[in-house]
Structure 1
Amino acid sequence: MTPAAEPATTAVRVWDLPTRLFHWVLAASVIGSVVSAKIGGNAMSWHFRFGYVVLTLLAFRVLWGFAGGHWSRFATFAYTPAALVRYLRGVPRPGERFDVGHSPLGALSVFAMLAALAVQLGTGLIADDEIANVGPLNRHVAVATGLAATAYHKSVGQALVIVLVALHVVAIVVYLLRRRNLIAPMVHGDKRLPASVPASADTLATRLFAAVLLAGCAAVVDWLVSQG
């Protein structure tokens, strides 16, 4: 019996440009935020700036999770526990494509990072180190709340973000060793896949729409910070 031929593949747009830019700018901003915090002193002004950029990006990503390209939408990687088990066992159901967008493990990493950053940003906005750095919204909370937020932000919160970033890097290396490059698609946006796999919309119109969303998020963050 002749073995069935593998389906022909073509370049399919998986990661739209807004998602790719979000990913790389977020990575640079998180690194800049951590480094500036470690340096301290005058570098803390940059720590705040990086934090505001991350907050803007996070707000944008939440909106883009509902309005972005197909594989950037939360609906495509909000897996059930059963799907995670099937992925770990390597027995996907017919039609399940864990190799296109975020895999179940990758999805957990994404949601964990978004949640950790959200809490880190929230505590940073109301923090007060009782030396020279005060979050812009600190005056709106009780002193004890601000101090508790500072303690979390400087210790557990920062460590959690660093650990999640490190795990992300380790996962990329592991996949590279298994001859699966996760970096390249996040640069150029495409993966070699069967033509039947739906592509993410990535047109001039969707990119302009993303720019409007990002500008709106930046305006909201600027207003929020001004409330201090």
Structure 2
Amino acid sequence: MTDTSVAALQATASTAAPTRVWDLPTRLFHWALAVAVLGLIGTGLNGIMEWHFRLGYTVLALLLFRLLWGFVGGRWSRFAAFIYAPGSIVNYLRGRAHPDHLIGHTPLGALSVFAVLAILAFQVATGLMADDEISASGPLTRFVSGAVVSFATGWHKAQGKWIVIVLVSLHVLAVLFYVLVRRHRLVRPMVSGDKLVARTNGEVAESRDDAASRGLALVLFALCAGVAYWVASLRI
């Protein structure tokens, strides 16, 4: 999307008001995942395997939670809010963005989110089945064939690791570009939950972020953490 198209959309707004875009569970998930992934990279590169496993189980719980929250979470956290048709993505790239593209995830941002979630899920899955035959063995290695263990180990230690590092680096660079060059406020809304949204077509739907919603998120995460704990208990 070009700066001109963004400016044009914003210029048509009669008012711009704070709008709850990111609910608290989504924000906590985002920052917890960022810390956990950075920890995974650091512990993996330095061979601190016990903490590497613990952080891996943490990421597993977080990804399971995000999968569920993508269906029952706040308006802009639901997958339905940022699954875009090919035509919508093309229009966005041509500078004909829909006003909703400036509220939640943009089409390109949505593709990035799905890519990161997918590669992290695959990296966690291969880690659970990996075995370096020295000091670290995933809890699921005894349930799969030797060929699967061999593939999972090779992927997790080589291609998967570097893909995650590249994706994390690209994500950080993209955020810096939008914040420093295009002057978009990306970080603050993910901290406060609110974003200044141009009211181009009347009221803008806000994400639900009340006590009941947060309570539901807590229950869901507890269930996901329980699943991750059960998986960890399979390790021998």
Task: State the TM bucket, normalised to the shorter chain.
Answer: over 0.9
- One-letter code of the match for 1:149? A
The count of aligned residue pairs is 221
Q: Tell me the secondary structure at the aligned position of residue 64 of structure 1.
A: helix
Do residues 204 (structure 1) and 211 (structure 2) align?
Answer: yes
Number of the residue aligned with 1:151: 154
Distance 2:39 2:111 in 1: 24
Partners of 1:57 and 1:214 within 8 A in 2 = yes
TM-score, normalization: structure 1?
Answer: 0.94
Query: 4+ residue stretches of structure 1 with deviation over 6 A?
Result: none
* Residue 5 of structure 1: how far off its partner (Å): 6.8
What is the correspondence of 1:1-228 to structure 2 with a 5 Å cutoff? Answer: 6-40=13-47, 43-93=48-98, 96-176=99-179, 177-193=181-197, 194=199, 196-228=203-235
Distance 1:121 1:150 in 2: 11
**Inter-CA distance 66–173: structure 2 relative to 1 (3 Å threshold):** same
**Inter-CA distance 6–143: structure 2 relative to 1 (3 Å threshold):** closer
Partners of 1:127 and 1:135 within 8 A in 2 = yes
- Give me the identity figure in percent: 53
TM-score, normalization: structure 2?
Answer: 0.91
Distance 2:148 2:219 in 1: 35
Could you report, residue by residue, the CA deviation over 1:46-92 in whole angstroms, capped at 9, with x for unpaired residues? 00000000000000000000000000000000001111111111113
Distance 1:168 1:202 in 2: 26
Partners of 1:52 and 1:221 within 8 A in 2 = yes
* Residue 139 of structure 1: how far off its partner (Å): 0.7
* Residue 130 of structure 1: how far off its partner (Å): 1.1
- One-letter code of the match for 1:181? R
Partners of 1:15 and 1:71 within 8 A in 2 = yes
Distance 1:23 1:6 in 2: 29
Gap runs ≥5 in structure 2: 1-10
Partners of 1:55 and 1:121 within 8 A in 2 = yes
Q: CA RMSD in A?
A: 1.3
Distance 1:6 1:60 in 2: 36
Distance 1:5 1:110 in 2: 29
Gap runs ≥5 in structure 1: none
- One-letter code of the match for 2:89? L
Distance 2:160 2:74 in 1: 31
